[in-house]
Amino acid sequence: MLAGVAAAIARHFHVDVTIVRIAFAVVTVVGFTGLPFFGWIPVYLAGIPLYLACWLLIPEEGSDHSIAGRFFAARSERSG
């Protein structure tokens, strides 16, 4: 996986990283096929936007701020 998102989530919830990776894979496949209780309407690539959101919101190891946090902090410094 990219960016260590699965490892960060696994470390936070104290589970094996393989379980988190399998969960992302399942969510992505479900995104292609849809869910039966939604009438098999696909939720198009649900795992990919979820992964990207986590990548932007979870801070890197040893860092206090995420990518999104640094972006917004830099913008607020420039405007204020």
Query: What total of structural domains would you count in the chain?
Result: 1
Q: Say what percent of the chain tops pLDDT 70.
A: 74
**Tokens representing 77?**
């410094």
End-to-end CA distance of the chain: 38
Q: How many CB atoms lie within 10 A of CB 51?
A: 19
Predicted confidence (pLDDT) per residue in 46-68, tens digit = 667 777 888 888 888 787 888 88
Q: Quote the pLDDT of residue 1.
A: 47
Which of 1-5, 20-24, 50-54, 59-63: highest mean pLDDT? 20-24
Burial of 38 (0-12, 13-18, 19+ CB in 10 A): exposed
Note the pTM of the prediction, 2 decimals.
Answer: 0.59
The CA distance from 42 to 60, in Å, is 32
Q: Which domain holds residue 72?
A: 5-79
